[in-house]
Amino acid sequence: MPLSRRRFLTSALLLPASALLPRISLASPEAGFDYVLTAQQATLNITAEGATDGFGFDGQFPAPVLHATQGKKIRIKFINLLTQPTTIHWHGLRIPIEMDGVPFLSQPPIKPGEFYIYEFTPPDAGTFWYHPHVNSLEQLGKGLVGAFIVNEPKKQRQQLAFDQDIPLLLKNWHLDDQGQWLPLSTPRQSARMGTPGRIETINGLQAPQIKVKAGSLVRLRFLNVDNTVMYRIVLPKGLDAKVIAIDGNAVSTPFTLKEAWAMGPGMRLDIAFIAPSAAEQVIEIKNRQGKLNFNFFTLITEGEASQQAKIIPTLPASVIPVPDLKNAKKINFTFEWEGAITPADKLLKGKHDFWIINKRAWEGMNKQSIPAPLVKLELGKSYIFNLRNVTQYHHPIHLHGHTWTVLKSNKRDIHPQEYHTDTVLLGKNETVQVAFVADNPGRWMYHCHVIEHMKTGLMGYIEVS
Ligand code: C2O
Ligand code: CU
Ligand code: CU
């Protein structure tokens, strides 16, 4: 039997036809709105043996991929059909505070049965995502996460001309094999790396296949939408792929990934390649220990590449304000494990604050009591944040409403130099310096995106005025 035929048969046996990507649909427009979106109960089909009662935007997982255009206003009517309050936060978008989706700092929580109109103009093109900022452990953990893609304006977009553009949502589910929920969090794991789930998926599918046409220019957008797990993207040697954007921001020179690329929760990575002639390649997504994990997908190229040469484009540079490094004010933030101060057994019995930023654990907030900001910044000024992780665990640190320029680390070379991000991954005992212009007035959340860490202390906000 010819090799290709045998391969086809083995993959067909291993995977049901429904495991083919993409399975993501577009949200439906309605008069006056670009999208009408709901959050509601959803029946999820993650495990083979049983359905799961979870949550979904528009009642589905993966959630609809929302598309916006850079510099063009988008209007989204969001209806809460859950039995608990919620909001939507647009992760990575530099938009006004009123649209940031943080209860009390941006807007009142949206009550069950109510709706809220989100209306904003995305300033940057790239790969972003959306999720609630209420009861995050459960709402994100059970399915309320989706891709938000901002396209370049039409003219530029035509020049980029990707033949296939595929968002890949990486998420790990706390489910048993019958599809029943397991605890999303345990105090023991909250005080460590967080509680990982059991079932790894890409767009809700286990070890899916992605088919692309030989010769086509393909863009893969990886999004780590998991509550907890850090993923390492490993590209096969035979695939001539380039990184074109990091965390939603174009890189100035596309580059080859020589090593695994680490992505903490909240982070994104865009790669592009020209699909080679008929081949089957496995793209691995390893876990934080670097072990070959159970998470991967198979990239299948069909047909022969034509002679017409295509090139991997450089995306238009993002328009992030350039910080004035010479005059920037330096501020230190130390991310610490509270057990270093309070004995761990006391914490485990107590109210479960395990993590602190500059000696403060997030105290929570409601309408009547909003805690003081971690720091107040002057509108329009440049700042350098010195982010010191003095713990034994990784922390993807995220700031709302702004985009950082990553300057340096005490542990590694920053590559590419001075790239932009909204979420920076601090390795254990790593200090990273980031700079930015505080140009967006408001009170902006500032937290670790490992949801259990933010829920047990590693969260605060900064005020820009
Ligand atoms: Cu994805 Cu407060 O963020
Ligand atoms: Cu965010
Ligand atoms: Cu953390």
Average pLDDT, the chain: 89
CATH match for 159-302 among 1.20.120.1200, 2.60.40.420, 3.30.1360.120, 2.10.70.10: 2.60.40.420
pLDDT of residue 307: 64
Query: Which pLDDT does position 299 carry in this prediction?
Result: 82
Output the pLDDT for position 29. Answer: 65
Please name the residue whose Cα sits nearest to atom 3 of ligand 1.
Answer: 91
Please spell the DSSP secondary structure of 279-340, one letter per residue: EEEEEEEE-TT----S-EEEEEEES---S----PPPPPPP-PPPP-TTTPEEEEEEEEEGGG
- 3-class SS of residue 63: coil
pLDDT for the residue 9: 35
The CATH number of the structural domain formed by 16-153 is 2.60.40.420
Is 312 within 8 Å of 244 (Cβ atoms)? yes
Kindly report, residue by residue over 182-229, the tens digit of the pLDDT: 999 998 899 999 998 989 899 999 888 888 888 889 999 999 999 999
Give me the mean pLDDT over the 151-174 stretch.
91
Q: Which atom of ligand 1 is nearest to the CA of 454?
A: 2
Q: How far is the CA of 78 from the centre of ligand 1 (A)?
A: 18
Residue type, 339: G
What ipTM does the predicted assembly reach?
Answer: 0.99
Mean pLDDT of the 51-68 span: 96
Nearest ligand to the C-alpha atom of residue 225: 1
Give the pLDDT of residue 318: 83
31-40, 242-251, 289-298, 312-321, range with the lowest pLDDT: 289-298
Residue 222 C-alpha to ligand 2 middle, in angstroms? Answer: 17
Quick one: which ligand is closest to 457's CA? 3
Residue with tokens 């938009």: 95
Q: Tell me the CA–centroid distance for residue 212 and ligand 1, in Å.
A: 32
Closest CA to 387 of 378, 374, 371, 376: 374
pLDDT of residue 276: 84
Tell me the C-alpha distance between 134 and 459, whole Å: 14
User: Does residue 456 carry a pLDDT above 90?
Assistant: yes
Which atom of ligand 1 lies closest to the CA of 133?
Answer: 2
The model carries a pTM of 0.92
Is 159-302 the same fold as 16-153?
yes
State the closest ligand 1 atom to the C-alpha of 400, by its place in the atom list counted from 1: 2
Number of the ligand closest to the Cα of 266 = 1
Q: What is the pLDDT of residues 30-54, one digit of tens each?
A: 778 999 999 999 999 999 889 999 9
**Ligand 1 binding site (Cβ under 6 Å of any ligand atom):** 89, 91, 131, 133, 266, 398, 400, 445, 447, 449
pLDDT recorded at residue 237: 82
Nearest CA to ligand 1 atom 1: 91
pLDDT at 155 over 80: yes
The pLDDT of residue 440 is above 60: yes
Task: Tell me the average pLDDT across 163-175.
Answer: 94
* Ligand 3 center–CA 201 separation, angstroms: 22
Q: Measured between alpha carbons, how far is 221 from 244 in angstroms, rounded to an integer?
A: 10
For the stretch 90-146, pLDDT in tens is 999 999 999 999 999 999 999 999 999 999 999 999 999 999 999 999 999 999 999
Query: Tens of pLDDT along 288-299?
Result: 554 444 567 788
| Superfamily of domain 329-464 in the CATH hierarchy | Cupredoxins -  blue copper proteins (2.60.40.420)
**pLDDT, tens digit, 9 for 90 and up, residues 357-403:** 999 999 899 999 999 999 999 999 999 999 999 999 999 999 999 99
Q: What percent of the chain has pLDDT over 90?
A: 71
Alpha-carbon gap, residue 56 to 39, rounded angstroms:
6
The C-alpha angle with vertex 126 and arms to 124 and 132, in degrees rounded to 5, equals 90
Ligand 1: distance of its center to the CA of 245 in Å? 19
Which pLDDT value is given to residue 341?
66
**pLDDT computed for residue 6 by the predictor:** 34
Cβ neighbours, 10 Å, residue 4? 12
Q: Structural domain boundaries of the chain? A: 16-153, 159-302, 329-464
**One-letter amino acid for residue 311 of the chain:** I
Rounded to the nearest whole angstrom, what is the distance from the C-alpha of residue 155 to the centroid of ligand 1?
31
Other C-beta atoms lying within 10 Å of the C-beta of residue 359: 9
pLDDT, position 301: 82
Ligand 1 atom showing the smallest separation from residue 102 Cα: 2
Tokens of 34: 């670009």
Q: Whose CA is nearest to atom 2 of ligand 1?
A: 445
